[in-house]
Amino acid sequence: MHKEKLEAIGEKELINRLGKFMPKNQISDDCALINIKNENLLVNTDSLVENVHFNAMTICPGDLGWKAVVSNISDLLSSGSKKTIGITISLVLPAKTEWIWVEELYKGINKALKEYGGVILGGDCSKGDAKIISITAFGIQGELELRRNACKPGDIILTTGIHGLSKLGFLIQNKINFYNEFSLNERLIIKSIEHFCRPRVYPNFLNNLLKTRSNKNIKRIGCTDSSDGLFQALQDLAIASNCKAILSYEKLPKDKDWPRGDKWDEYYFFGGEDYELVFSLPEIWAKDLSKLDNDINEIGFFADGEPSIEFKDNKKNKLFNNRPFKHF
């Protein structure tokens, strides 16, 4: 038997290989689409694993519960879900886990559901060596289908919010010392920890898209979220849509106190867990949406060409020699 290991294959290739056991195009996006009689369901599963995504030092159980829900709702939104029906929860826990830890986890889960909609529908529990929280979320497909493979040459690339903050929050929670280089602004420290521990999503995003859509014939747009980092999101869109992403470095929205330098650009593009939406629209639609929502910024455009990402300023392209977050 060939002893090929997951660390050599990588997450993307693993998913591609598993796709052979599923219906065609089932792995194109984070959510699966299920056609039913009256409305279409979107289904998403996301897992958080101890010592891979979290540990006791970086996040408390209440925040972990919130984050587990938000990571799933972000995937639903990035596929065009107009409503979250509910979630199921699978827990793997060491036998010595204290009940108070589980109780606080579920309080955080319910806070997120109260904020963004949905209820706990059920789940499963099992014993294991490490804590694993796996959530499956169910949503209803809205009027607009948001899919990774729907970007077109000429489309404007946009993003919600600011990237890199969750990565910085993670580093701060892990007691990484930056102070030998410079002093981080206290406001930025607080904001980054909040983004890491209590990320937020944009429930009004779909309504704002529909409000600014002048061409009602457009039913699909390109979109994904930046749970694995801005670079990975752009790469996923470019590959799925078979076009080239061209970025304007000076247009990237950054916190006003975000430090300068190559390392900080790396955190910005490869950090992950920001749960911002990265998407593309025709130019007029993009302009109108940006005017309506100040949290949305244009960062580039798609063009004909081999699927890739590049800056207008070629001097910045060396940044993309880095590698995104890997699960294996």
Residues 173-179, mean pLDDT to the nearest whole number: 74
3-class DSSP assignment, residue 284: helix
Q: Are strands 40-49 and 132-141 parallel, antiparallel or unpaired?
A: antiparallel
24 Cβ contact list (under 8 Å, min separation 6): none
Average pLDDT over all residues of the chain = 89
Higher pLDDT, 237 or 106: 237
What pLDDT does residue 318 have? 77
Give the residue range(s) of CATH 3.30.1330.10 domains in the chain.
Answer: 29-141
* Poorest-pLDDT segment among 83-87, 115-119, 181-185, 288-292: 181-185
Quote the pLDDT of residue 74: 96
Q: What is the pLDDT of residue 155?
A: 98
Cα 35-16-319 angle, rounded to 5 deg: 115
Q: What is the pLDDT of residues 20-51, one digit of tens each?
A: 776 677 677 766 666 777 789 999 999 999 99
Q: What percent of the chain has pLDDT over 90?
A: 68
- Identity of residue 238: A
For 274-313, write each residue's pLDDT tens digit: 999 999 999 999 999 999 999 999 999 999 999 999 998 7
Across 211-238, average pLDDT: 95
User: Who has greater pLDDT, 4 or 95?
Assistant: 95
* Residue of 73, 143, 62, 155 whose CA lies nearest to 106: 62
Concatenated DSSP letters of 222-277: EEEE-TT-HHHHHHHHHHHHT-EEEE-GGGS---TTPPPSHHHHHHHHH------E
Q: Which residue has the higher pLDDT, 248 or 3?
A: 248
Residue ranges matching CATH 3.90.650.10 in the chain = 145-321
pLDDT score for 294: 92
pLDDT average, residue stretch 80-109: 91
CA distances for 28 relative to 18, 24, 134, 146, angstroms? 12, 9, 21, 12
pLDDT at 304: 97
As a whole number, mean pLDDT of residues 86-112 equals 90
What is residue 178's predicted lDDT score, i.e. its pLDDT?
Answer: 63
> Up-side HSE of residue 207: CA atoms within 13 Å toward CB?
4
CATH class, 29-141 region: alpha beta
When mean pLDDT is compared over 114-128, 180-194, 196-210, the highest value belongs to 196-210
Alpha helices in the chain (DSSP H): 6-9, 11-18, 61-77, 99-116, 165-173, 186-197, 205-212, 230-241, 262-270, 283-292
The pLDDT of residue 316: 73
Asked if 269 contacts 127 with a C-beta cutoff of 8 angstroms, the reply is no
Q: CA triplet 118, 120, 123: central angle to 5 degrees?
A: 140
pLDDT for res 302? 98
Residue in the block written with tokens 């910024």: 297
CATH superfamily assigned to domain 145-321: PurM-like C-terminal domain (3.90.650.10)
How does residue 182 score in pLDDT terms, banded at 50, 70 and 90?
low
Pairwise pLDDT comparison (258 vs 19), residue with the higher score: 258
Q: What is the mean pLDDT of residues 103-116?
A: 93
Match 């980054």 to its residue by tokens. 192
pLDDT at residue 14, rounded to an integer: 67
Side-chain half-sphere exposure of 70, counting CA atoms within 13 A: 26
What pLDDT was estimated at residue 3?
Answer: 75
Sign of the four-CA dihedral 27, 31, 34, 40 = negative
pLDDT surpasses 70 at 174: yes
Indicate whether 57 pLDDT > 80: yes
Distance CA 69, CA 118 (A): 10
Phi, psi of 77 (to 5 degrees): -60, -40
CA distance 239 to 285: 23
Q: Is the pLDDT of residue 93 over 80?
A: yes
Instruction: Check whether 214 has a pLDDT greater than 60.
Output: yes
Closest among 178, 272, 233 to 12, alpha carbons compared: 233
